[in-house]
C-alpha cells in the first residue's frame, strides 16, 4: 500500500498495540508496523451528541452563553484520548503507525480519518465490521454502503488506506475490486466475527471472547491465494496467525503482510521474533534471499493445478475421506 516495511510481520489492532508499554517491545521484536486499536463510529457519534448536549445546556441558561463556548474544557475521553494515543505512538516508534477507524455507515464521523492523520498516523485502516440482521436489507444495499464509506474516507485523507472486511460475501472477488476502485490501497483479509454462545445452565447468551487458533488461517490463506495477482492493491492476512509456519504459508499464498493479535496476547510481543526466526531459517534452507522471491509462489495463479482453490477441490476432498484415516 505504499509503506516501506522492514518486516512483513505486523501487529494487528488489539490490546497489545493499545498499550504504550508494549510499543517498544513490539518494535524491538521486529514488528514491521503496528495497527492501533480502533476508534469506533459509535464513540465519535456519542462524543458529538455529548458536545451538542453540553452546548445546548449553556445556550438555554445564559443570554451571552455563546461567548463562553470557546472556553469550554472538554475532558480527554473517547476520540480526543484516541488522538493522543496516535500522537504518543508516533513519538515513541520509528516503525509505521497505522490508525484504525471502525464503522459501517457513511457520515460526518469519517472526518476523524483526517484527525488521525493530523495526529501522526502513517496510514488508516478502515474496519467494516458489520452484522446485517435485517432480512429486508439486500446484499447490494450493504455493498453499496461499504463502497460509499470507503469513498468518503478516501476523500478525507491522502495517506494509504487499508480496508478490513469480513469473508462473508457472495462474490468476494468482485467486492474486492469495488473497494479497490473506491480508493482502498490494501485489503485486510479478514475480520474475525465474534459469535455469541448460549449458556445451558442460565439460558442466557454469553459473549465470550475466545482467541483464535492456527486452524483459522485457512480462510485468509484461501482468499489471498485466490486474489493474489488479480488486484493492484496490497493484501494483508489477519486471523489465525500464531506461528512462523502460519505466516510463511500466507506469504507463499501471496500476502504482502501477515498480521497477528491473538498470538501476541498469548505469548507477548517477543513472539514476533520467534516467528521471524522460523521464516528466516526456512528461507536459508531453501536459498531464498528475500520475501519477495517467495511471495505468491503458491497462489492460485502460480500452482500447476489452480483447481485446488476451487469447487473441484471440495469434491475431491469430501471423497477423500476413508474410515480411520482422518482422526
Footprint of ligand FMN (CB under 6 A) = 12-15, 37-38, 100, 102, 127, 164, 191-192, 209, 211-212, 238-241, 260-263
Residue 190 CB, nearest approach to ligand FMN (Å):
8
Residue 211 CB, nearest approach to ligand FMN (Å):
6
- How many CA atoms within 13 Å lie on the side-chain side of 168? 10
244-253 vs 271-285: helix crossing angle, rounded to 10: 60
Q: What is the rounded end-to-end Cα distance, in angstroms, of the chain? A: 42
User: What is the full DSSP assignment across 1-58?
Assistant: -----S-SEEE-SSTTTT-HHHHHHHHHTT-SEEEEEEEEHHHHHHHHHHHHHHHHHH
d(CA 146, CA 178): 10
d(CA 111, CA 103): 12
In the bound state with ligand FMN, the residue whose beta carbon lies nearer, of 127 and 321, is 127
In the bound state with ligand FMN, the residue whose beta carbon lies nearer, of 195 and 232, is 195
In the bound state with ligand FMN, the residue whose beta carbon lies nearer, of 11 and 233, is 11
Residue 162 CB, nearest approach to ligand FMN (Å):
10
In the bound state with ligand FMN, the residue whose beta carbon lies nearer, of 105 and 313, is 105
In the bound state with ligand FMN, the residue whose beta carbon lies nearer, of 37 and 254, is 37
In the bound state with ligand FMN, the residue whose beta carbon lies nearer, of 99 and 176, is 99
Question: Where do the H-state alpha helices sit in the chain?
Answer: 20-28, 41-61, 65-68, 78-92, 112-118, 139-156, 172-182, 218-227, 244-253, 262-267, 271-285, 291-294, 311-318
Instruction: List the one residue out of 181, 166, 41 whose CA is nearest residue 106.
Output: 41
In the bound state with ligand FMN, the residue whose beta carbon lies nearer, of 215 and 293, is 215
Residue 256 CB, nearest approach to ligand FMN (Å):
16
Residue 257 CB, nearest approach to ligand FMN (Å):
13
Instruction: List the one residue out of 183, 135, 129 whose CA is nearest residue 160.
Output: 183
Phi, psi of 306 (to 5 degrees): -60, -15
Residue 207 CB, nearest approach to ligand FMN (Å):
12
Cβ 98 vs Cβ 121: under 8 Å: yes
Cell numbers standing for residue 10: 505486523
Let me know the angle formed at the C-alpha of 258 by 123 and 144, rounded to the nearest 5 degrees. Answer: 55
Residue 230 CB, nearest approach to ligand FMN (Å):
23
Residue 290 CB, nearest approach to ligand FMN (Å):
24
Residue 188 CB, nearest approach to ligand FMN (Å):
7
Cell 476523524 -> residue:
112
In the bound state with ligand FMN, the residue whose beta carbon lies nearer, of 100 and 299, is 100
In the bound state with ligand FMN, the residue whose beta carbon lies nearer, of 191 and 226, is 191
Cβ 120 vs Cβ 97: under 8 Å: yes
Amino acid at each position: 500500500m505504499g509503506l516501506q516495511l522492514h518486516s512483513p510481520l505486523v501487529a494487528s489492532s488489539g490490546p497489545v498495540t493499545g498499550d504504550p508499554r508494549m510499543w517498544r517491545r513490539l518494535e524491538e521484536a521486529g514488528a514491521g508496523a503496528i495497527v492501533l486499536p480502533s476508534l469506533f463510529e459509535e464513540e465519535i457519534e456519542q462524543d458529538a451528541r455529548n458536545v451538542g448536549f453540553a452546548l445546548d445546556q449553556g445556550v438555554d441558561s445564559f443570554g451571552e452563553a455563546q461567548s463562553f463556548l470557546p472556553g469550554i474544557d472538554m475532558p480527554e475521553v473517547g476520540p480526543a484520548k484516541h488522538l493522543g494515543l496516535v500522537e504518543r505512538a508516533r513519538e515513541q516508534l520509528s516503525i509505521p503507525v497505522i490508525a484504525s477507524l471502525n464503522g459501517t455507515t457513511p457520515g460526518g464521523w469519517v472526518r476523524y480519518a483526517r484527525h488521525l492523520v493530523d495526529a501522526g498516523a502513517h496510514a488508516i485502516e478502515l474496519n467494516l465490521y458489520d452484522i446485517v440482521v435485517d432480512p429486508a436489507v439486500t446484499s447490494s444495499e450493504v455493498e453499496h454502503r461499504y463502497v460509499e464509506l470507503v469513498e468518503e474516507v478516501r476523500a478525507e485523507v491522502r495517506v494509504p488506506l487499508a480496508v478490513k472486511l469480513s469473508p462473508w460475501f457472495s462474490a468476494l472477488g468482485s467486492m474486492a475490486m469495488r473497494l479497490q476502485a473506491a480508493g482502498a490501497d490494501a485489503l485486510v483479509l479478514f475480520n474475525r466475527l465474534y459469535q455469541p454462545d448460549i449458556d445451558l445452565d442460565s439460558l442466557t447468551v454469553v459473549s465470550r471472547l475466545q482467541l483464535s487458533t492456527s486452524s483459522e488461517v485457512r480462510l485468509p490463506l484461501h482468499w489471498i491465494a485466490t486474489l493474489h495477482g488479480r488486484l493492484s492493491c496490497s493484501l494483508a492476512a489477519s486471523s489465525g496467525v500464531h506461528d512462523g509456519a502460519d505466516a510463511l504459508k500466507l506469504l507463499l499464498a501471496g500476502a504482502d503482510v501477515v498480521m497477528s493479535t491473538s498470538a501476541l496476547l498469548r505469548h507477548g510481543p517477543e513472539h514476533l521474533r520467534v516467528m521471524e526466526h522460523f521464516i528466516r531459517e526456512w528461507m536459508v534452507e531453501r536459498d531464498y534471499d528475500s520475501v519477495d522471491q517467495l511471495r505468491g509462489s503458491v497462489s492460485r495463479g502460480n500452482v500447476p493445478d489452480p483447481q485446488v482453490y476451487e469447487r473441484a477441490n471440495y469434491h475431491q476432498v469430501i471423497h477423500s475421506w476413508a474410515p480411520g484415516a482422518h482422526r
